[in-house]
Amino acid sequence: MPNKPADPSILGKKLYFASDAHLGMFPEQGSRIREIRLVQWLEEIRKDAAEIYLLGDIFDFWYEYPKVVPRGFTRFLGKISEICDSGIPVHFFTGNHDGWIFDYLASETGMIIHQDLFETEFQGKKILMGHGDGLGPQEFHYRLMKRAMHWKWAEFIFSRIINPNFGVRLAHFWSKHSRLSKGLREAFLGTSREYQIAYCMDMLKKTHYDYFIFGHRHLALDIQLTPESRYLCLGEWVEACTYAVLDEQGLILRSFAGKDEAILRKN
C-alpha cells in the first residue's frame, strides 16, 4: 500500500502509546510512586506529542457513580486535563479493569473515550489499536465480563444498591487477589499461540494495517507479522514502564525508568 504524503502540521510530532498502569492497585504506596512516574512521562512527552493514546487498564478499578468518582489519581487527572487544555488530544481506551467509564473523564479532563478498537493513520501508516482483551476464543471470560459490566441492571445494583465504600473495597479485593494469584507478567506463548497475534493475522486477510498496537498482556513485544505489518504489545507500568512512540522514522518501543532508553526499534 503506498504511503500518503506526510501532513506538514504534524512534521516533527509523534504519537505516544501506553497501557496497564493499574493505578490504585495494592499496595497504595507503590501506586502513588507509579502515578508520579506516569505524570513525569506525560510531562516529558507533551513537548512533541501530536496525540497520546492510553490503551486500557490505566486504573486498576474505576467506577463513576452518578455524583461521585473514585478517590485518588489527582496528579494524573490534573496532568491529563492540562495536556488536553493545551490542545493535544488524549485518547483513553477502557480495559477489563476500568471498563465502567461513562462521561466524567471526557467532560472533566477532555479525554476522548474509546470502548472498542480504534483505527487511525499517521504519517501514511495505518494503525489498529485497543486494549486487546477478548480478541481470542480463550478470552471468552473477558468478553462475557465486559458485556455483564454494561448490563443496565448490573450498573443499577452497583451504583444504587451497593454502598460505594463497600463496592470499591470489593472491587479492589477482587483485583488484588486475581493479580497476585496470576503474577504480574504472563509468559510469552510463542507466535503461533498468542491470541492477539492470531487476531492480527486474521485481520490482515481482510485489510492491510502497518501496525497493530495492544496492551493487556503485560508483555513488551515487537513482532514482524509480514514484511509490511508489525504487532506491538505495550507491556506495563507496574514494573517495566514500557511505551511506544511513532514518528516519521518509524515505531519504537521504549522504557521510561528515570531516563528514557530505547529497548527496541524497527522502521
How many domains does the chain fold into? Answer: 1
d(CA 220, CA 238): 13
Is residue 4 domain-resident? no
pTM: 0.82
Is residue 194 domain-resident? yes
Residue-wise pLDDT for 168-212, tens only, equals: 666 666 666 555 445 555 677 777 788 999 999 999 999 999 999
Residue 110's domain is classified under what CATH number?
3.60.21.10
Is residue 63 domain-resident? yes
Residue-wise pLDDT for 35-45, tens only, equals: 999 999 999 99
Domain ranges, residue 21: 12-266
Is residue 38 domain-resident? yes
Dump the DSSP string for 8-69. GGGTT-EEEEE----BTPSSHHHHHHHHHHHHHHHHHHTTTEEEEEE-S-SBS--B--SS--
Residue 146: the pLDDT is 59
d(CA 117, CA 91): 12
Is residue 245 domain-resident? yes
Q: State yes or no: pLDDT of 84 exceeds 60.
A: yes
Least confident of 25-34, 141-150, 227-236, 238-247: 141-150
Is residue 145 domain-resident? yes
Phi-psi region of 134 (alpha: psi -120 to 50; beta: other; left: phi over 0): left
Is residue 47 domain-resident? yes
Residue-wise pLDDT for 133-178, tens only, equals: 878 665 555 555 655 555 566 655 556 566 666 666 666 666 665 5
High-pLDDT (> 70) share of the chain, %: 72
Is residue 7 domain-resident? no
Distance of CA 216 to the CA centre of its chain: 8
Residue 166: the pLDDT is 62
Residue 212: the pLDDT is 98
